[in-house]
Structure 1
């Protein structure tokens, strides 16, 4: 684990807000030189604190108006391996995240679809046919608020 000082935390907060900022702009914002900011970013990347940068897409603007969270309980018949299930579910493009969890369900999936009939098609034809699926519980997302992390 890497020791983070207050400047590192401020840098991480600034990158979480907008990861496209260059080290010069970040440095001006934090009162650092561009090379000092770049060195801090490199150190955080090498330590694994910064694991990459991603682009947030507006799924609604792209025509995907429905997000559903699925709780998947694997069946006990046939004892399908977790790896077989994970490999199969990861091949479904509508499945955005696959989380192996502890509790009532074995997995939690985040699925996006164009609309409810499209989601039903994905559920019936793709998810319910996955190896080992026992039961499925669905929750349709009404709205989402993203809150900044604890940094």
Structure 2
């Protein structure tokens, strides 16, 4: 399925507010409620619209620090990748795990209450995982978000 201009308008509207009802969505993009609902359903079935997420205010929940970690594994066998991926996804502070090509093998987004909490997570959980070699940390200073799909 190739999205048309109406599909892109629907995706843009849902990116701005994923809680829109099909009636409100239809009004926003100039469609009737049933047509808007069918379009959303078709985008879901095609795998273009994968779901809707909550956008939590991590700072309000007590998580004031976000770090990005570059992780290079010491060994790169298939078992090492699988063991690392299984172990890293079990750590709740690790929000995203991205297998990347380049200087590091993985890029992680890690949240913590403060720097001391991050250090605890890093030392007790991440650095003890199977296969971990080098780790580089970068602190998130600010984040800008672009609205709308590509």
TM-score range, shorter chain: over 0.9
SS at match of 1:45: helix
What root-mean-square deviation, in Å, do the aligned CA atoms of Structure 1 and Structure 2 show? 1.5
TM-score of the aligned structures, taking structure 2 as reference length: 0.96
Identify if the C-alpha distance between structure 1 residues 78 and 15 changes in structure 2 by more than 3 Å, giving closer, same or farther: closer
In the alignment, does 2:37 pair up with 1:9? no
Aligned length: 150
Identify if the C-alpha distance between structure 1 residues 65 and 78 changes in structure 2 by more than 3 Å, giving closer, same or farther: same
Determine the structure 2 residue equivalent to 1:81: 80
Question: Residues 1-151 of structure 1: matches in 2 within 5 Å?
Answer: 2-76=1-75, 81-151=80-150
Unmatched runs of 5 consecutive residues or more in structure 2: none
Q: Which runs of 4+ in 1 moved over 6 A?
A: none
Question: Would you say the 8 A contact 1:92–1:126 is kept in 2?
Answer: yes
Question: Would you say the 8 A contact 1:80–1:131 is kept in 2?
Answer: no
For 1:148 and 1:124, locate their aligned partners in 2 and report how far apart those are by CA, in whole Å: 36
For 2:39 and 2:76, locate their aligned partners in 1 and report how far apart those are by CA, in whole Å: 52
Identify if the C-alpha distance between structure 1 residues 149 and 77 changes in structure 2 by more than 3 Å, giving closer, same or farther: closer
Question: Would you say the 8 A contact 1:68–1:112 is kept in 2?
Answer: yes
Deviation of 1:76 (Å): 2.6
For 2:79 and 2:65, locate their aligned partners in 1 and report how far apart those are by CA, in whole Å: 30
For 1:125 and 1:83, locate their aligned partners in 2 and report how far apart those are by CA, in whole Å: 20
For 2:74 and 2:137, locate their aligned partners in 1 and report how far apart those are by CA, in whole Å: 17
TM-score of the aligned structures, taking structure 1 as reference length: 0.95
Kindly provide the CA deviation profile for residues 51-107 of structure 1, in whole angstroms up to 9, marking residues without a partner as x. 011101000000000000000000039885201000000000100000000000000
Deviation of 1:149 (Å): 4.4
Unmatched runs of 5 consecutive residues or more in structure 1: none
